[in-house]
Amino acid sequence: MTGRTHDLAAFTALNIVFVTHPPPQMTIATVIAALGANMIGGLLPDIDNATADIWDKVRGGRVIGHLIQPLIGSHRMISHSIFGLAIIGYLLKNIILPVIGTVILVDMNIIFDALMIGYISHLVVDSFTTQGIPLFFPIPVRIGFPPNKHLRIKTGGLLEKILIFPGLLFINGYLIYTNYQFYEIFLRSYLK
């Protein structure tokens, strides 16, 4: 899937979790940081691709991407697996976010959750592509839905543009429409 589809899929997943598991009271800074972390999480599995959209978000990202890519391997390998998810989750929870938390005063548990929701949404959406994902890396089997590779979606293809992206927009609109009062209460608590 393209970067914009991953961004929207990450937001959709966060929206679903928001509606089904109402978050605790948090500061507006935490809300904004969680939205940003979710978008980063939605692109993070593509750190193994030096030309991925995530590197456009970082100053000098293309250079960093070209340095990191040989260490991680080819695209859609370790970072698109449960093993990669566990490694990234461990590094974020125990090293990266605690360091960032000394500078940015937000609830790092919510930031971690939002980032991981985005990361998992990336894996789910990529499993619908023709390439699938190596979910059980290092076992060399790619998992995809539907199981028949010929029925899956081509990255950047017509089905992604006319079915997946609009479908994600529809899901978000539906969630906001059907849970309007919940969103209104949540937003009013910050606009007092």
Structure confidence by residue, pLDDT tens digits, 51-72: 777 777 778 877 887 777 777 7
Return the pLDDT at 90.
Answer: 97
Is residue 20 situated within a structural domain? yes
**pTM score:** 0.90
Chain segment 79-99, per-residue pLDDT in tens: 899 999 999 999 999 999 999
Per-residue confidence (pLDDT) for residue 118, from 0 to 100:
97
Average pLDDT over every residue of 40-52: 85
Q: Which residues contact 163 (CB under 8 A, 6 or more apart)?
A: 153
pLDDT at 93: 96
Residue 192 covered by a domain: no
Domain count, the chain: 1
Residue 192 binned pLDDT confidence (cut-offs 50, 70, 90): low
Domain holding 95, by residue range, is 3-187
Q: Determine, yes or no, domain membership for 125.
A: yes
Q: Is the residue at 132 inside a domain?
A: yes
Instruction: Judge whether 27 lies within some domain.
Output: yes
Task: Please check the confidence at residue 133 and state whether its pLDDT lies above 90.
Answer: yes
Higher pLDDT, residue 117 or 2: 117
Rounded CA-CA distance 62/60 in Å is 6
What is the C-alpha separation between 178 and 184, in angstroms, rounded? 12
Question: Does residue 58 lie in a domain region?
Answer: yes
Is the per-residue pLDDT at 105 higher than 80? yes
Phi/psi zone of residue 76: left (φ > 0), alpha (ψ -120 to 50 degrees), beta? left
What separation in angstroms does the CA of 60 have from each of 2, 47, 64, 65? 21, 14, 6, 9
Does residue 119 lie in a domain region?
A: yes
3-state SS assignment for residue 161: helix
Asked if residue 69 belongs to a domain, the reply is yes
